[in-house]
Amino acid sequence: KLRTVLNQARRDRQRKRAQARVSSQEVMQKISNCSKIHLSTKLLAVDFPAHFVKSISCQICEHILADPVETSCKHVFCRICILRCLKVMGSYCPSCRYPCFPTDLESPVKSFLNILNSLVVKCPAQECNEEVSLEKY
């Protein structure tokens, strides 16, 4: 009986942690408020595997990385998203809580930027079927 109670308590804690992660993600997305300026991953012309899409997406807004920057803990974000989050939520990485300051942000490695810029995206305008590389967008 004690084991059942302990297992139930463990499941409750896990559920609360999962809810906290979801709500903090929602808060960060509201802070960044970038849906009108950043491109959705749904605009990718190719249906890439989910893990690849995640690697080219901002961990705050979940859009395709725009002007990407890397933190000292190696997480990658859109510049405007991470700067807004640091200003509102404090000087730590939104992904791992490692101390992070605007002066620590660096450009990701060139090979990553080359891959990102070579991605082909669909034009977001309705009735426009044009596809262009992210670099030319």
Please write the tens of the pLDDT for every residue from 62-79.
Answer: 999 999 999 999 999 999
* First vs last C-alpha separation in the chain: 62
Q: Give the C-alpha separation, 119 to 76, whole Å.
A: 17
CB atoms within 10 A of CB 23: 10
CATH number of this structure's domain 2-136, picked from the four choices 3.30.565.10, 3.30.40.10, 3.40.605.10, 2.60.40.4070: 3.30.40.10
Whole-number pLDDT of residue 7? 80
Give pLDDT, residue 27: 65
CA 38 to centroid of chain Cα atoms = 11
List the domain boundaries for the chain.
2-136
Strand partners, 70: 76, 106
Which pLDDT score, from 0 to 100, does residue 51 have? 95
Instruction: Name the burial class of residue 87, with classes exposed (0-12), middle (13-18) and buried (19+) by CB atoms within 10 angstroms of its CB.
Output: exposed
By CB neighbour count within 10 A (0-12 exposed, 13-18 middle, 19+ buried), where does 69 fall? buried
The list of the chain residues with pLDDT below 50 reads: 22
In whole angstroms, how large is the CA radius of gyration of the chain?
18
How far apart, in Å, are the Cα atoms of 98 and each of 28, 57, 117, 123? Answer: 16, 20, 28, 37
CA gap 56, 76 in Å, rounded? 9
